[in-house]
């Protein structure tokens, strides 16, 4: 069984061929983009969702679901490179970065919570699954992840670059399933979401991480009060900047526009594009 279910992209544009020939793996094909979103409806949706279901919906959940829907609509962006050839992923799996802390020890670490088949899940299902995964990660009860981190911790720092490149070669270039060796299967998925707004940041771009083979990193910022224009008048509003770092070998202007429009629609009007609040299960 392979590490990732893939199918080769048979036809590629002339630009894509030039892009493949221009850059080596992530050194450095990064393109950056940001958009400012009105968040009044999103905040109202979060409040209504929580009141109806009792589940603590957050901006991170909304962005994750919006990213899943965007990749479902733009399947060519759900891809990775192997030996300088583009392969399409058969599933939309997303990773969300989670902060791990050791109380009393002052240690802080980052870990990835992976949502499999995120495009096939409702927002309600996604919230439940993510919250359970985040709980297990923060309590260090994700056995596969903890084994992987322990293995990495044994590698001397002088060899860590070579080790990460070697692991990327095995997991993604050769597409080997290493779970029997304690390595989580495809832990990073199609795209990675990290909420920099929880750090108090309005704007920030996450660098591509070569060994993950992830071509899309999305970072929502903090929601701020700001003057906005409505019907020609300046009024107070709630805004959030959504930043993205993209691998230009896989994502071009067309793909970026589809992804951006889908996420814009989902986040600015979730009542219309995400779960119908009235159809959700009520909290006990």
Nearest to 206 by CA among 216, 104, 45, 229: 216
- HEC states along the chain? CECCCEEECCCCCHHHHHHHHHCECCECCEEEEEEEEECHHHHHHHHHHHHHHCCCCCHHHHHHHHHHHHHHHCHHHCEEEECCEEEEECCCCEEEEEEEEECCCCEEEEEEEEECCHHHCCHHHHHHHHHHHHHHHHCCCCHHHHHHHHHHHCCCHHHHHHHHHHHHHHHHHCCECCHHHCCCCCCCECEEECCHHHHCCCCCCCCCCHHHCCCEEEEECCCEEEEEEECCEEEEEEEEEEEEEEECCCCCHHHHHHHHHHHHHHHHCHHHHCCCHHHCCCCC
**Residue 3 or 256, more confident:** 256
pLDDT the model gives residue 106: 59
CB atoms within 10 A of CB 63: 25
Is residue 20 over pLDDT 70? no
For 131-143, the pLDDT digits (tens) are: 998 888 888 887 7
Q: How far apart are CA 187 and CA 273, in angstroms?
A: 28
* Cα dihedral across residues 163, 168, 170, 173: positive or negative: negative
Is residue 18 over pLDDT 60? no
Q: What integer is the mean pLDDT of 104-129?
A: 86
Q: How far apart are CA 215 and CA 29, in angstroms?
A: 10
Q: What integer is the mean pLDDT of 32-40?
A: 96
Is residue 61 over pLDDT 90? yes
Q: What is the token pair recorded at 99?
A: 């902060």
134 dihedral zone (left: phi>0; alpha: psi -120 to 50; beta): alpha
Q: Please give the model's pTM, rounded to 2 decimal places.
A: 0.88
Q: Are 60 and 193 in contact (CB under 8 A)?
A: yes
For 242-281, the pLDDT digits (tens) are: 999 999 999 999 999 999 999 999 999 999 999 999 999 9
Question: What does pLDDT average to over the chain?
Answer: 89
Q: How far is CA 203 from CA 37, 195, 216, in A?
A: 13, 10, 16
Q: What integer is the mean pLDDT of 24-53?
A: 90
Predicted confidence band of residue 157 (pLDDT cuts 50, 70, 90): confident
Could you give all domains of the chain from N- to C-terminal order, each with its CATH number?
A: 16-276 (3.30.559.10)
pLDDT the model gives residue 180: 83
pLDDT the model gives residue 103: 57
Predicted confidence band of residue 156 (pLDDT cuts 50, 70, 90): confident
Q: What integer is the mean pLDDT of 11-36?
A: 72
For 199-229, the pLDDT digits (tens) are: 999 999 998 988 899 999 999 999 999 999 9
Q: How far is CA 277 from CA 8, 51, 268, 274, in A?
A: 39, 10, 16, 9
pLDDT the model gives residue 137: 82
Is residue 101 over pLDDT 90? no
Is residue 184 over pLDDT 90? no
Q: What is the token pair recorded at 85?
A: 């050839």
pLDDT the model gives residue 71: 97
Predicted confidence band of residue 161 (pLDDT cuts 50, 70, 90): confident
CB atoms within 10 A of CB 146: 16
């Amino acid at each position: 069984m392979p590490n990732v279910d893939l199918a080769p992209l048979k036809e590629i544009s002339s630009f894509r061929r030039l892009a493949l020939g221009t850059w080596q793996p992530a050194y450095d094909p990064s393109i950056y983009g940001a958009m400012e979103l009105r968040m009044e409806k999103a905040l109202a949706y979060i409040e209504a969702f929580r009141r109806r279901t009792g589940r603590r919906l957050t901006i991170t959940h909304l962005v994750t679901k919006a990213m899943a829907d965007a990749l479902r609509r733009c399947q060519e962006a759900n891809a990775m490179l192997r030996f300088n050839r583009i392969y399409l992923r058969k599933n939309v799996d997303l990773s969300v970065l989670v902060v791990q802390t050791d109380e009393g020890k002052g240690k802080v670490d980052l870990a990835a919570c992976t949502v499999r088949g995120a495009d096939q899940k409702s927002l309600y299902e996604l919230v439940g699954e993510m919250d359970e995964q985040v709980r297990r990660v923060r309590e260090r009860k994700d056995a596969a992840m903890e084994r992987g981190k322990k293995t990495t911790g044994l590698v001397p720092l002088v060899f860590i670059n070579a080790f990460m490149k070697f692991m990327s070669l095995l997991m993604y270039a050769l597409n080997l399933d290493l779970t029997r060796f304690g390595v989580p299967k495809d832990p990073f998925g199609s795209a990675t979401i990290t909420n920099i707004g929880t750090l108090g940041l309005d704007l920030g771009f996450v660098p591509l991480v070569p060994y993950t083979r992830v071509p899309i990193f999305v970072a929502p910022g903090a929601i701020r009060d700001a003057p906005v224009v409505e019907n020609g008048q300046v009024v107070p509003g709630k805004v959030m900047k959504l930043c993205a770092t993209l691998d230009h070998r896989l994502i071009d202007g067309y793909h970026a526009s589809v992804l951006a429009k889908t996420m814009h629609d989902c986040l600015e009007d979730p009542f219309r594009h995400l779960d119908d609040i009235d159809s959700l299960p009520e909290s006990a």
